[in-house]
Every structure is written in C-alpha cells, then in structure tokens.
Amino acid sequence: MSDKSIPSQDRLIFAMDVSDCDRARELAVELGDAITFYKIGLELMMSGGYFDLLEWLLARQKKVFCDLKFFDIPATVGSAVRQLKDRGATYVTVHGNQSIMQAAAENKGDSLKVLGVTVLTSLDRGDLDDLGFDCDVEALVLSRARRALEAGCDGVISSGLEVAMLREHLDSKLLVVTPGIRPVDNKLEGDQKRVVTVEKAFASGADHIVVGRPIRDADSPRAAAEAIQVTIAAQAGA
C-alpha cells in the first residue's frame, strides 16, 4: 500500500454507476458510513441533477470523484475544469494529449486534483491494435503517466496490472487510482478486461481502488462494502 496519509476508509471509492440521482441517494443512504468516497460519472451527469447530487453527498461529509473524462480542445477542457474547481469535488478525470492535460492542471485551483486517464481497464491488446497503438500496454501506460506528471496532473487512473511498474519508474507523489477491482480473482463479468483483486492493487502501491458492481449488485451492498473495508484496513495495518 502507498505511504500517503490517506485515511483507510477513503482508499475505497465506490463507483456510483446507477441510472438516476434518486437511486444514487437511496444507495448512499443504504451504504451509510461503509463508504466515504463516491465516484459519479457520465451516466449520472446525463440523467439530470448531477450537481445537486454532488452537493448532497458533500453535505453528508462524503468525498466525491467526478469521473467526467474531459476530452476536447485544451481551451474547452481548461474552462470546464475551471467551472468545476469550486464545486467541492476531490478528483476529476481528463483524457487526451499533454496540452489537454496541461490546460486542466492550470485551471484546477487549490483543492481539485486532476487525474489523467492512461489506458481504460476495458481495453486489452486487441483493442489497442484497433486504435492504432503498436506499443505494449505497459509502455503506453508509463508514457501517458509520465506525460500527465509533466503536464501538472496530480495522478493517473491505471489498472492494477501496471501500478507496480508506475511505482518503480515514477515519482512516489503521483496519485494512482485503480479501477477494475474484483474482490476475488476473476475476469468473468461485464466490460472490464484488465482486473485485479483488492489485495493485489494495494500490494502494488495503489492509493485508491474504485469498486462498482461487486458492491452495487451484491445482495447486501453495505455488507460487501464493509468486507472490502476490512481487507483494506488489514493491509494498512500490515
């Protein structure tokens, strides 16, 4: 586990991937204090009431990661980040080349942190071939992470499969947030192809993990979240 001074409970970020903000609030109430950090993304943005939900979560002392993956010309991305910076969110994601990430970093203010997306965990080698990348996944992730750092980003989104490599080659101050987490070692569900377990992600040096379906679709989402928190606390105390 990374040595940053992050509270153990904040290391788990729940991906609130539901269809509308009313359902998001219901789920947050059900989860209670088992979750302190929420990721809200494009589906909720398009459902309406996104910023009301953000404020509702903040009023309940939750941290919020706006996973909006901004990708446009640098001036537009910079303006979008500037509009978000005083909303109380902790993290926002940005896609794109160095000038796009730099525009985001220049407009993030003092409290919002910008995370550059390296390679989506839904992509595998075949997908990268389709996109025209002839390097391997690890080289691409490392290159994009280096560019994010040079651009002034605070961290990156990276599969747990590449976290150890990032820790070996890059500044330890880099925040690494790892999606594609499964409580057990399997690759059977949904569109995530490059997945790791909770233990492997933190053993490799992740700062946060992002977990969605294994909590949301559990018989008891709260119990599932609490079980993951127990695992994280055990690793933090190891």
Active site residues: 69
Query: CB under 8 Å to 39, separation ≥6 — which residues?
Result: 13, 14, 15, 16, 64, 65, 67, 210, 212
Identity of the residue numbered 136: D
Q: Is the dihedral of CA 221, 56, 75, 111 positive or negative?
A: negative
| Spatial CA neighbour of 199 closest among 214, 184, 186, 212 | 184
Q: Left, alpha or beta for 32 (phi > 0: left; psi -120 to 50: alpha)?
A: left
Tokens (6 digits) for 11: 């290391």
**Beta carbons within 10 angstroms of residue 92's beta carbon:** 24
**Beta carbons within 10 angstroms of residue 29's beta carbon:** 9
Contact 208, 6 (CB under 8 A): yes
